[in-house]
Chain A
């Protein structure tokens, strides 16, 4: 179905699950927005009935999205709020303190998911903590301070200002390694609990308790091939979807998808996107 909408997916190329999620969320909200406009402007019908995905970046036929330092999946500009936003959208605030004039500037950013770096033998809690750890901007990456009117060294810290109803966590398991001159899959063991709270929220952010509801798992040894399966909690049962095969699994089997503790390159089945649902909504 998606194929008919976007030529990018209209082929048999390998696709990245996170990129797809990104596309899907943006696309749904665009459709809804377009429909709304159509209703409002029914007197002057536009030819905009057929939604084009022109806003989507057509970055060729790359099968996987390699997030370098790019930010989170952000909504494009000042979009209208739709149910997709109500479910997935949260707000990040990045606090930057110029080390020259000590001025603190805040920048807010909407997000549909958080992209976290993974370290060996850590928990998703730790990865989120690292995501919010204070980063010093220096050398090539200096901060343009409005007060100083120049590039200065600065300290930057990302916090969550508004937690979404469904928190999507994207584990950055595909990294470019200079040593190999290519992208490789990072199969590090990252444990994720069935229940989660965030530590890296800003002060005004109300606390939320999350339950794990779904996991997208990447199976395979590298970034250019492999297979996706997903695990979804449905009516208190955990179901594993592998193409057309659906199995009921024990929640303890989630342990199999944490990753590998040795750094040898080999096939692994690792949690790639985690979906946590806020407890008070269910």
Chain B
């Protein structure tokens, strides 16, 4: 690192103090400190080597190296007492070290395993959580050439290869993950926009290219099976959207899969049913990363619009955006350890247990139930994001912001005259959009709209008083984040209404109309978005100004709690652990940041009582 600083001193960019690389930063819970002794990198890196490597690397187009990604695993036991292992890729190399935490120095001279590949570079990796033992782990590695390798870095076994001859797929692997709860199935996404399900113990069919048969078709995606006499890989082929699939993530309940693509779309699928349940788009440009909140309520994506996009699973819409990065966002991740939960029955529950409770609930269906049940619902989420701007941002997503009604501009007509006429106008205005896009779908859409309309009419008496509160909130929605806190009161009213009724009759929001519509319209995908879902149309010109892609003034724009430059190079990995957080950057250095010492900061935030007040 020292070598790089020297280089930068001759910089022409007029670096201000703001641009200095931080070794610590402060949040409400205390000071996070960089632990220099817990820095992991390629084996036996000489001092000053980074500098040379950097110069050469840049000249050779280091920028084209795959991003450095990090995978952690905790073994059941270890003779020396260090159970954690860290795996990361750098260039054509892959390292597997014992991770000794924040107290003990990293021993870079003795990697557990180290691999250097020829002609192809590792891009991503994942370890099967189900089959871990002290003697063996199943590490999957995806490569730039599209190949996949299964290795055991502890036994040092050269594992099986999949798509070795690149017959199934030729483009770069962008994300690879074991199916949650499966000992042998894994999912691999590629730059081609295709995603394959492989079985670890099944052949790839040798030199015979697979023949596919359409299995299921949905809006903007299709699923194909492999036609063969005996079972062979790939088990399924998914074709999703337009352009590269950049990242995907399973929900904590394992039932749903969030996928982000270069076409700017966030798609949320019911994985087993192979159905699209949600669609949203970036403000512009591709989405590069995605993650789920620990309770499965929020999906967050980041990408080429430099924005963090927050999508609510329950409301099926974008509820907020975050602006703080100066370049493309490469990783978003929730911090489950500082996310605050409103736990009515047991406020002493640790957040980790909380997350588990919810995920077990989620198997019965992530929707609706969670909100009305007295399960642990997060009231203040902590989110982290990193970007190509070398900055780390931490965000707080509070209840009052996430529950704000949609749209300040588009809903103007509804405010002026509460009741059914403006509402029906609104929906009437949206129907043609679907109609002219694909007239064959009009039939499917029409019943849904009808249900929405009727349910609103029946609710119209109840909505009248609440609308006033809604309009107040709207006015506040145009204020900044800090100012908005003053506007909690009107907001709360609508919440109480919402909760007491239990069936989601709140301030005549679209979302409410949707949820009630979905209840009456049985299995119809709940949301006004269903129209875009039905057609699968992700045309940004049509989606802008809708709940799938609100205009900037239609939803809250958050500012980061913390925004610090923590590296000289583009950041590529971010992981939250119980006692630290981990960042990695393009030049192959993995840093450990110790969390502040002292009691954990649960249920001390001002937002917790707020929520308890709401849930009378």
* A residues adjacent to B (C-beta < 8 A): 119-123, 125-126, 175, 177, 179, 184, 186, 188-189, 191, 193-197, 199, 207, 209, 252, 255-256, 258, 260-264, 266, 279-280
Contacts and interface: CB of A to CB of B under 8 A. Distances in A.
A251 B350 CA distance: 47
B306 A125 contact: yes
B358 to A, nearest CB: 35
A220 to B, nearest CB: 14
A209 B285 contact: no
Given A121-B570, A191-B304, A261-B58, 17 more contacts: A123-B389, A126-B306, A186-B12, A189-B63, A191-B327, A191-B388, A193-B285, A194-B286, A195-B286, A207-B551, A209-B540, A209-B544, A256-B63, A260-B63, A262-B54, A262-B58, A279-B540
A178 to B, nearest CB: 10
A186 B388 CA distance: 18
A177 B285 contact: no
Nearest to A117: B13
Contacts of A262: 4, 7, 54-55, 58
Contacts of B304: 123, 191, 193, 195
Interface of B: 4, 7-8, 10-13, 54-55, 58-59, 61-64, 191, 264, 283-286, 304-306, 326-328, 388-390, 540-541, 544, 551-552, 568-570, 586
Given A119-B13, A255-B64, A258-B63, A125 B544 contact: no
Contact of A196 (B12, B284, B586): B284
Identify the interface centre among A123, A188, A252, A280: most chain B CB within 10 Å of its CB. A123
B125 to A, nearest CB: 22
A148 B59 CA distance: 56
Given A119-B326, A120-B13, A264-B7, A195 B540 contact: yes
B410 to A, nearest CB: 13
A125 B387 CA distance: 14
Contacts of B570: 121, 261
A279 B539 CA distance: 11
Given A194-B285, A207-B544, A280-B541, A261 B63 contact: yes
A121 B326 contact: yes
A28 B306 CA distance: 37
A207 B540 CA distance: 12
Mostly helix, strand, loop or mixed at chain B's interface?
A: loop
A186 B13 contact: yes
Contacts of B63: 189, 255-256, 258, 260-261
12 contacts: A121-B326, A122-B326, A122-B327, A123-B306, A175-B12, A194-B286, A195-B540, A196-B285, A209-B541, A261-B569, A279-B540, A279-B541
Contact of B284 (A179, A191, A195, A260): A195
A260 B13 contact: no
A199 B327 contact: no
Contacts of A123: 304, 306, 326-328, 388-389
Nearest to B303: A193
A4 B533 CA distance: 58
A263 B64 contact: no
A257 to B, nearest CB: 10
A238 B343 CA distance: 55
A170 to B, nearest CB: 18
Contact of B264 (A125, A195, A252): A195
A177 B326 CA distance: 24
A121 B541 contact: no
B389 A177 contact: no
B327 A121 contact: yes
A17 B4 CA distance: 33
Contact of A125 (B10, B11, B58, B305): B305
Contacts of B541: 209, 279-280
Contacts of B388: 121, 123, 189, 191
A196 B303 CA distance: 12
B18 to A, nearest CB: 11
A197 B305 contact: yes
Nearest to B55: A264
Contacts of A196: 284-285
A125 B541 CA distance: 19
Nearest to A118: B13
Closest 7 CB pairs of A and B: A193-B285, A193-B304, A126-B326, A123-B327, A263-B11, A197-B284, A195-B284
A188 B13 contact: yes
Contacts of A195: 264, 284-286, 304, 540
A276 to B, nearest CB: 10
A207 to B, nearest CB: 7
A171 to B, nearest CB: 14
Contact of A197 (B61, B283, B327, B328): B283
Nearest to B282: A195
A203 to B, nearest CB: 9
Contacts of A264: 7, 55, 58
A266 B306 CA distance: 29
B346 to A, nearest CB: 44
A186 B540 CA distance: 34
Nearest to A180: B12
B457 to A, nearest CB: 33
A258 B286 CA distance: 16
Nearest to A194: B285
A189 B570 CA distance: 10
Contacts of A256: 61, 63-64
A9 B541 CA distance: 42
B66 to A, nearest CB: 12
Contacts of B264: 195
Contacts of B7: 262-264
A121 B8 CA distance: 13
Nearest to B307: A125
Contacts of B544: 207, 209
Query: Which among B13, B64, B541 has the greatest number of chain A C-beta atoms within 10 A?
Result: B13
Contacts of A186: 12-13
Contacts of B540: 195, 209, 279
A199 B285 CA distance: 14
B326 A261 contact: no
Given A125-B305, A260-B58, A262-B7, A184 B12 contact: yes
Nearest to A126: B326
B552 A199 contact: yes
A195 B306 CA distance: 12
B103 to A, nearest CB: 32
